[in-house]
Structure 1
Amino acid sequence: MDDRMFRTAMGKFTTGVTVIASEHNGEVHGMTANAFMSVSLDPKLILISVGENAKMNEILQEAQKFTVNILTENQQELSMIFAGQIKDRKVIFNTFEGMPVLEDALVSLACRVYDSYAAGDHILYIGEVINLSVQDGEPLTFYEGKYNQVTS
């Protein structure tokens, strides 16, 4: 199997869309990610996967804390900004537990880096959730390389 076939197969799995954010040296950095999952209830742990060459790796290693912002169906533009698809747009972050969060995210998780592991061309970060906020709404989803909305 080649890389394209593998990527196509993985695109058949519908995911939510998140923005991972962290602050380093007074500057907030964010990246769009759909490689996110719950790991454990006790302790409360989640996992994110970050490409080994992504700038976010250096930031997470230095800051040792981050937020996961699960986007609503109305936040596709935010996803595109943090995926580098829309340039030169400033995003205002709020602060939650001293960490940057996106306003109106469906869920915001404030996390400490619990552990990290190299896995292929990515680094897996296990985050210990220290607090969270939840609002009502519908999630933004991603399937076969396209944004979608949940329809009830």
Structure 2
Amino acid sequence: MDARTLRNCFGKFATGVTVVTWFEGEEKRGITVNSFTSVSLDPALALISIDKNASAYKGLQGKSFTINVLSADQEAIAWQFAGKQQEGLQIDWDSTGIAPKIKGSIAWMECKPWKVYDGGDHDLFIGEIQQIHQQDGDGLTFFQGKMGTTRGL
């Protein structure tokens, strides 16, 4: 099978949209990730999958990170961190703690590195969740290459 056909097949699974963020010195960095899942409640662990060819891959190595679950009105932020420049976009950051958070996200999980596993052309980063936050609101979704929302669910 070719990679495009496989990607299209994976695209039939609707996911939420997250932006994983970390500090690079004083700078805030991030990457849009929809390959995210819970792993364990005790200890509290979450997994993200990052392409080894992504520009963010090396920057994330050994770093604490935040998984920001985007709200329905944060689509521009998702595209920005997916590498599609959004003119005039202003991101409201919370820079406290071990990794930056995107304000307005419906949830975030601040993680310290736990383990990294080889996953073919991706690495699976497992983070130990240190702090969490959640609020009411509709989430941003991704299905067949298009953004949507959880409104009406």
Same fold (TM over 0.5): yes
Q: Which residue of 2 is the match for residue 68 of structure 1?
A: 67
**TM-superposed deviation, 1:122:** 0.7
- Is the contact made by 1:96 and 1:110 (CA closer than 8 Å) also made in structure 2? no
Q: Report the aligned-residue RMSD.
A: 1.4
Q: Which residue of 2 is the match for residue 132 of structure 1?
A: 132
Contiguous gaps of at least 5 residues in structure 1: none
SS in 2 for 1:12: coil
SS in 2 for 1:99: coil
**TM-superposed deviation, 1:96:** 3.8
**TM-superposed deviation, 1:119:** 1.1
Q: Which residue of 2 is the match for residue 105 of structure 1?
A: 105
Supply the distance in 1 between the matched residues of 2:20 and 2:145 (Cα, whole angstroms): 19
Q: Share of identical aligned residues, percent? A: 38
**TM-superposed deviation, 1:98:** 3.4
SS in 1 for 2:60: helix
1:4-83 alignment, distance < 5 Å: 4-62=4-62, 64-83=63-82
Supply the distance in 1 between the matched residues of 2:105 and 2:38 (Cα, whole angstroms): 17
What amino acid sits opposite 1:117 in the alignment?
Answer: Y
**1:59-104 deviation per Cα after TM superposition (whole angstroms, max 9, x unaligned):** 2214x20000000111101101111112454534212423200011
SS in 1 for 2:61: helix
State the TM-score, normalized to the length of structure 2: 0.93
| Aligned pairs, number | 151
